[in-house]
Amino acid sequence: MTLFLDKGRAVDMAHYHYILGWQALMKGDARQAQEHARVFLRPDTGGILFFTGFHYIAQAMILFALGNSREAFVHLKRAKEIGREVKSVLIEFHALLIEADFELVRGMMRKGHVLLKAVLALGREKQIFNFDWWRPEVMARLCTTALEHGIEPSYVREFIKRHDLFPDTPPLHIEAWPWPVKVFTLGQFRIERDGKPLRFSGKVQKKPLEMLNAFGGKEVPAEQIAAALWPDADGDAAYKAFGITLIRLRELLGVKDAVRLSEGNVTLDQRYFWADAWAFEKMLESAECGVRSAESINNKSAIRNPKCEVNLKLLEKALELYKGPFLSGESATWAISLRERLRDKFLRCTSTSGMYWEQNKAWDKAIDCYKKGLEADDLVEEFYRRIILCHQRLGRNAEALSAYNRCKKTLASYGIELSSETKALLRKD
């Protein structure tokens, strides 16, 4: 454009600098974008109202990036006025979208969610997928927020897929994200590809699936995988088998670049993969930051942290993912180690959630929490004890006795005797 631009044509000059301003903002250079805005916002650059509406939106984005939110909203208001005047759905959509982003960035969450709901409904109705001055990081952020709150999920997923959007941090807490491949390993094993169960036309390909699950899939040395899957083969033979199996795994998943081999390490690229075990650990890690650490489990001030309600929801969402032990049929050392680690986290965080409800005297919610824990692992005697105590707090002695008997019967079936602490509960009653 620079080579062939007619600098005597004001409207061409305006559009030229409009595009350069967009490019500058995409690169994170808001000050350079502002220099271009000084040209495309000049009144002598054509004055076509339709384009002026987009120019005001662009200037609003630049000003907000520069920290001048007050002036940014002024320009956004003018853009919306022009949109109504020229009856442009595209201007209305873009202005509303940017306003929603501004409000969310400012921490005005309720208002931001209302605006986001309105603009995405408009986008879905009019099937809008492309517009000027859109930025991948902004749209990835807005799409993440939308899916977190169940806002226009079908339209948002289509938007993500069309533009191959992905936020800086993998949104593992969002199962509704359009993951090309989803792997379930907790209490079950299944693979979904593009939202549909992966079915095998012939014999189940055991080795590729073992490779898929091996060691968590993050920067795992190829030699380590080869040694684990082919322990009786010599080094060269094991590595050759590894190479063939890697090809078969990629073909099985049908997603280009999903399984990367780089510098001798195998990684499942999180742009393409969602795994329940990954999501479980990530959500627990985020939730525990604000709820409590394991060491402060009985600290009331920690339980009543102002951020606790939000984190508690994340904690409960994580616990919902835990349907049972990790790959219960796998006897390899690495699987047993990971299985025990995930189980320990599940038990600790079930206790955290249950204790929160107990401290708030929400006895029935605490009981429900401990029962869910027992659905995943019915040998945790501590959960039975907490259920018995909660029933006793509510004066339900018959229910407390029933929980006690269930505990005794279940443990006995595994040759385990009740602890003195559990026996003491009914004597106290």
Tell me the pLDDT of the chain averaged across its residues: 88
Half-sphere exposure of 365 (CA within 13 A, CB side): 14
Within the chain, which residue ranges are assigned CATH 1.25.40.10? 10-163, 274-428
Q: Is 263 left (phi over 0), alpha (psi -120 to 50) or beta?
A: left
Question: Measured between alpha carbons, how far is 268 from 284 in angstroms, rounded to an integer?
Answer: 21
Question: Measured between alpha carbons, how far is 36 from 241 in angstroms, rounded to an integer?
Answer: 58
pLDDT at 54 over 60: yes
Q: How confident is the model at residue 156 (pLDDT cuts 50, 70, 90)?
A: very high
What pLDDT does 46 receive?
55
- Give the 3-state secondary structure of the chain: CCCCCCCCCHHHHHHHHHHHHHHHHHCCCHHHHHHHHHHHCCCCCCCCHHHHHHHHHHHHHHHHHCCCHHHHHHHHHHHHHHHHHHCCHHHHHHHHHHHHHHHHHCCCHHHHHHHHHHHHHHHHHHCCCCCCCCCHHHHHHHHHHHHHCCCCHHHHHHHHHHHCCCCCCCCCCCCCCCCCEEEECECCCEEEECCEECCCCCCCCHHHHHHHHHHHCCCEEHHHHHHHHCCCCCHHHHHHHHHHHHHHHHHHHCCCCCEEEECCEEEECCCCEEEHHHHHHHHHHHHHHHCCCHHHCCCHHHHCCCCHHHHHHHHHHHHHHCCCCECCCCCCHHHHHHHHHHHHHHHHHHHHHHHHHHHCCCHHHHHHHHHHHHHHCCCCHHHHHHHHHHHHHCCCHHHHHHHHHHHHHHHHCCCCCCCHHHHHHHHHC
What pLDDT does 128 receive?
96
> Average pLDDT in the 53-72 region?
95
What pLDDT does 302 receive?
43
* 186, 276 contact by CB (below 8 A): yes
pLDDT at 303 over 60: no
What pLDDT does 10 receive?
80
Lowest mean pLDDT among 78-92, 285-299, 412-426: 285-299
Q: How confident is the model at residue 218 (pLDDT cuts 50, 70, 90)?
A: confident
* 218, 256 contact by CB (below 8 A): no
Question: Measured between alpha carbons, how far is 222 from 261 in angstroms, rounded to an integer?
Answer: 8
Query: Which of 200-217 are b and which e, b meaning 16 or more Cβ less than 10 Å from the residue's Cβ?
Result: eeeeebeebbbbbbbbeb
Within the chain, which residue ranges are assigned CATH 1.10.10? 200-271
pLDDT at 310 over 60: no
Lowest mean pLDDT among 7-16, 123-132, 157-166, 410-419: 7-16
Q: Tens digit of pLDDT for each residue in 104-136? A: 999 999 999 999 999 999 999 999 999 999 999
| Higher-pLDDT residue of 412, 213 | 412
Nearest of 282, 267, 376, 293 to residue 328 by alpha carbon: 376
What pLDDT does 308 receive?
53
Q: How confident is the model at residue 165 (pLDDT cuts 50, 70, 90)?
A: very high
Question: Measured between alpha carbons, how far is 292 from 305 in angstroms, rounded to an integer?
Answer: 9
Q: How confident is the model at residue 395 (pLDDT cuts 50, 70, 90)?
A: very high
Express as a percent the part of the chain with pLDDT over 70.
Answer: 91
> Average pLDDT in the 11-26 region?
92
What pLDDT does 293 receive?
42
pLDDT at 12 over 60: yes
Fold of 274-428: 1.25.40
What pLDDT does 155 receive?
98
What pLDDT does 304 receive?
45
Q: Tens digit of pLDDT for each residue in 231-267? A: 888 888 988 999 999 999 998 888 878 898 988 899 8
| Higher-pLDDT residue of 393, 257 | 393
> Average pLDDT in the 13-19 region?
90
What pLDDT does 203 receive?
57
CA torsion, points 343, 344, 348, 349, in degrees to nearest 10? -40
Q: Quick count: other Cβ atoms within 10 Å of Cβ 43?
A: 8
What pLDDT does 44 receive?
58
**For the chain, how big is the Rg over CA atoms in Å?**
28
What pLDDT does 292 receive?
47
Query: Which of 78-96 are b and which e, b meaning 16 or more Cβ less than 10 Å from the residue's Cβ?
Result: bbbebbeeeebebbbbbbb
Averaging pLDDT over each range in 120-124, 215-219, 289-293, 321-325, which range is the top one? 120-124
What pLDDT does 298 receive?
44
pLDDT at 87 over 80: yes
Torsion sign across C-alpha atoms 288, 293, 299, 301: negative
What pLDDT does 199 receive?
80
pLDDT at 6 over 80: no
Question: Measured between alpha carbons, how far is 244 from 250 in angstroms, rounded to an integer?
Answer: 10
Class of domain 10-163: mainly alpha
What pLDDT does 428 receive?
56
What pLDDT does 8 receive?
74
pLDDT at 201 over 90: no
Q: Which CATH number fits domain 200-271: 3.30.70, 1.10.12, 1.10.10, 1.10.1060?
A: 1.10.10
What pLDDT does 306 receive?
44
* 374, 380 contact by CB (below 8 A): yes
pLDDT at 427 over 70: no
